[in-house]
Amino acid sequence: FSSKNIGYKLAIVSIVKNEGKYLEEWIEYYNSIGVDHIYIYDNESIDNTEEICNKYSDKVSYFKINGKVRQCDAYNDALNRYGNSCEYMAMIDSDEFIFAPPTNENILGKITSHFQSNKKVGGLAINWEMFGSSGYTKKPDGRVTDNFIYRATDNFEKNKHIKTICNPRKVAGFVNPHYAVYMPGYYAVDAEDNVSKGAFTEVVHNKELRINHYFTKSKEEFLAKRARGMADNLDIRKISDFDEHDRNEVFDDSLKKYNNNF
For residue 1, the model assigns a pLDDT of: 34
Mean pLDDT of 13-38: 95
CA distances from 26 to 12, 98, 136, 235 (A): 11, 10, 20, 26
Question: How far, rounded to the nearest angstrom, does the alpha carbon of residue 231 sit from its chain's CA centroid?
Answer: 14
Radius of gyration of the chain (CA): 17
Mean pLDDT of the chain: 92
Distance CA 84, CA 6 (A): 6
Distance CA 93, CA 141 (A): 21
Residue 81's contacts (CB-CB under 8 Å, 6 or more residues apart) are none
**CB contact at 8 A, 131 and 206:** no
What percentage of the chain carries pLDDT values higher than 90?
85
Single-letter code of the amino acid located at 65: I
The DSSP element (H or E) to which 53 belongs, if any, is helix 49-55
**CB contact at 8 A, 22 and 101:** no
Helix (H, G, I), strand (E, B) or coil at 146: helix
For residue 261, the model assigns a pLDDT of: 64
Listing DSSP states for 209-248 in one string gives -EEEE--S-SHHHHHHHHHH--SS-SPPPPTHHHHHH---
Mean pLDDT of 38-55: 97
User: φ and ψ at 37, to 5 degrees?
Assistant: -155, 155
pTM: 0.93
* Domain span at 161: 3-261
For residue 3, the model assigns a pLDDT of: 45
pLDDT exceeds cutoff 70 at 17? yes
pLDDT exceeds cutoff 70 at 24? yes
For residue 239, the model assigns a pLDDT of: 79
Number of folded domains that form the chain:
1
For residue 103, the model assigns a pLDDT of: 87
Helix (H, G, I), strand (E, B) or coil at 159: helix
Distance CA 159, CA 125 (A): 12
Q: Specify the CATH number for the domain of residue 205.
A: 3.90.550
Q: Which of 119-123, 128-132, 208-212, 240-244 has the lowest mean pLDDT?
A: 240-244
What percentage of the chain carries pLDDT values higher than 70?
92
pLDDT exceeds cutoff 70 at 114? yes
pLDDT-derived band at 35, boundaries 50, 70, 90: very high
